[in-house]
Amino acid sequence: MSGTTRALPLAGAVEVRRTVAAYLRPHRGLSAAMVATAVLAALAGLVAPWAIGGLVDGVLAGTTPAEIVVRTAVVAVAGLLSAVLTAVSAALVAKLGQRVLARMREDTVSAALHLPSAVIERSGRGDLLSRVGDDVAVISQVVAALLAPWITALLTVALTMGGLFALDPWLMVAGMLALPVYGFSLRWYLPRAARRYSAERAAFADRAESLVSALEGLPTLRAYGAEAEHVGLVERSSDRARGLSRSVVWFSTRWGKWMNIAELVGLSAIVVAGFVLVDVGAATVGAVTAAALYFHRLFNPLSLLVASFDQVQSAFASLQRIVGVLGIPRERPAGTHDGAPAALVADGVTYRYPGSAEPVLHEVSLRIEPGETIALVGASGAGKSTLATLLAGLVAPDEGTVTFGGGPVAGTGAVLLVPQEAHVFSGPLIEDLRLARQDATEAEVRHALDVVGADWIEELPEGVHTAVGELGHPLGPDRVAQVALARALLADPAVVLLDEATAEASSREAGRLEDAAAAVLRDRAGLVVAHRLRQAAIADRVLVMDDGRVVESGAHDELLAAGGHYARLWEAWSTPRPEAKLALEG
Ligand SMILES: Nc1ncnc2c1ncn2[C@@H]1O[C@H](COP(=O)(O)OP(=O)(O)OP(=O)(O)O)[C@@H](O)[C@H]1O
């Protein structure tokens, strides 16, 4: 299955920066306070080595005990101040990070829920699940554990280098001898790391995809006795993900070794250069002590930056994947189209289900004009439901086009499919209806239910607020169909496609549901996949499908007179069957 999928887009570094900046913009005050405290904390951290250097010089020059006490007090106060400011800045970073992350997480889930179905169809659900699940988790962990230490570490490194330069440029130059070692290790690491981390992420996505498809396709796998084969597939993708994770850990361990070497080189260079400078009288022992302490101060932040570089890079890769999802244009909810009357046109549409040998639709062309109602009829398996799915833009054709007003259907919100098997979600009935339009008032929801004849809501213990679905008040198939039709009314699309919305109905309820369908079709274009040919008789036009092709098209009377496929279907349908007779007599 993953062989036919195409990954969702990845955002570039510039797009990621722009998106993060946009998320930070509403928190300008908090961001400024966080940067100010972090800078002050790093500056306070510079005081202690400088004071200790002064102390060394003082002791060598035979200073007074009082001065030693004062300098020691300065070291203690600066240390305390630095600790307090670091804690405050970490708290501010955590607050800012969590706020931004919470917003981003909400937006990612919302973007995922509004992705055009054709995009999900192409990419497979595993990629999307891994982005809203794994990637958001990776970023949350990094924000919680590393964002504050990283900001402190970056500022500490920058300001300490400044302090080192102020003390003695030559000592800074000596310390910088460590840079080629850092540079070498980064040059070795970076190109390899990016590849490894993205391979690891992709393996996670693949594992999620194989697992989800195995669970979703369980009935099919059981039917064909192919469980073991699919378990093998899941095992192979898990093995690949595990193997890649292990090699990533081994790889970052090898890199860690170079950090210790770089520290050794830098500190040794400062000590040797300091010795020479003191010897020629160009520096004091105190200045060299302070420089060595400054350089030593870099160890922790540098090793933190290095040790967690992989996690931050991995979080950046996740951020690229999430911003990639945020950047996909959303599918506009049905009913939010611009409202200009336009035709829904299928032109030469051919479609084959993934893995099927033969197409189920062959060069189907049709046109639904504004306000026109078309009935689509044909034997079971003729391709009616498949055609409806393509007309709704939920699946892209292999050949040919489906357009609304000359443009693509997916993402316009102009065409709504009421599927054969409507679903009622667990929760208050009113919330289920508001899936169609979030801002629908209770009066509008009640009106929509009233129009589709759902008078049974009055019997529910809490009316439209009653919890329905699997965990609440159960609704039979006829009622579920009414809810689906009421949702369509609320969504108010330009074109509604009703896929046998009345097929579930018991005969007693059939008339009522047909009236409900007629109410949904009023004042808009529509296509009804009609099992009950009574609906075909009142449609403006009837299209007859046979074996994936449209074989007849015309008004009910014309097609009856023509004596072809439709006439035969009508004959079969309108001849009362024994069981229908019994039901009528009963
Ligand atoms: N997900 C799928 N994967 C593979 N083949 C499918 C899938 N769904 C439907 N088909 C096949 O495509 C063909 C057309 O099916 P479709 O459901 O579109 O027909 P239909 O005319 O709507 O039938 P019915 O009136 O029984 O609902 C059938 O042969 C069916 O077996």
Summarised one tens digit per residue, pLDDT across range 396-438 is 899 999 998 888 887 677 888 888 777 777 788 898 888 888 8
Instruction: Output the ligand 1 site: residues, CB below 6 A.
Output: 353, 356, 360, 378, 380-386
Distance between CA 131 and CA 322 in Å, rounded?
A: 6
Atom of ligand 1 nearest to the CA of 383: 18
What type of residue sits at position 374?
Answer: I
Q: How far is the CA of 548 from the centre of ligand 1 (A)?
A: 10
Structural contact between residues 529 and 500, judged by C-beta atoms closer than 8 angstroms? yes
In this structure, the residue with its CA closest to atom 6 of ligand 1 is 353
State in Å: Cα 132 to ligand 1 middle.
32
In degrees rounded to 5, what are phi and psi of residue 555?
Answer: -75, 155
Distance 385 CA to ligand 1 centre (A): 7
Distance in Å, CA 581 to ligand 1 centroid: 30
Q: Ligand 1 atom closest to Cα of 387?
A: 18
Query: 471 φ, ψ to 5°?
Result: -95, 0
Name the residue with the closest Cα to ligand 1, atom 30: 381
Would you state the pLDDT for residue 586?
A: 33
What ligand 1 atom has the least distance to the C-alpha of 531?
Answer: 25
Letter for the amino acid at 391? L
Range list for CATH 1.20.1560.10 in the chain: 2-326
Left if phi > 0, otherwise alpha if psi is -120 to 50, otherwise beta: which for 305?
alpha
C-alpha to C-alpha distance for 217 and 223, rounded to whole angstroms: 10
Answer whether 473's CB lies under 8 Å from 462's CB. no
Per the CB < 8 A criterion, the answer to whether 430 and 483 are in contact is no
- 383 CA from centroid of ligand 1 (Å): 6
Whether the CB-CB separation of 58 and 75 falls below 8 Å is answered with: no
Q: Where do the CATH 3.40.50.300 domains begin and end in the chain? A: 344-421+493-585
Residues of the chain with pLDDT under 70: 1-7, 116-125, 307, 329-340, 411, 501-509, 576-586
How confident is the model over 345-389, as pLDDT tens digits?
Answer: 999 999 998 778 889 999 999 999 988 999 999 988 899 999 998
Q: How far is the CA of 386 from the centre of ligand 1 (A)?
A: 6
- For 273-312, b/e burial (b = at least 16 CB within 10 A) is bbeebeeeeebbbbbbbbbbbbbebbeebbbbbbebbbbe
Give the pLDDT of residue 508: 63
pLDDT reported for residue 340? 61
Question: Which among 151, 193, 172 has a CA at the least distance from the CA of 38?
Answer: 151
Helix H or strand E encompassing 110? helix 65-113
d(CA 540, CA 317): 54
- Give the position, in ligand 1's atom list, of the atom nearest the Cα of 499: 22
Residues 5 and 209 sit within 8 Å (Cβ to Cβ): yes
How would CATH label the architecture of 344-421+493-585?
Answer: 3-Layer(aba) Sandwich (3.40)
**Would the ipTM clear 0.85, i.e. be above it?**
yes
CATH fold of the domain at 2-326: ABC transporter transmembrane region fold (1.20.1560)
Measuring from atom 1 of ligand 1, which residue has the nearest CA? 353
Q: Which atom of ligand 1 is nearest to the CA of 548?
A: 14
Closest CA to 44 of 96, 79, 69, 16: 79
Ligand 1 centroid from CA 353, angstroms: 9
The pLDDT of residue 446:
92
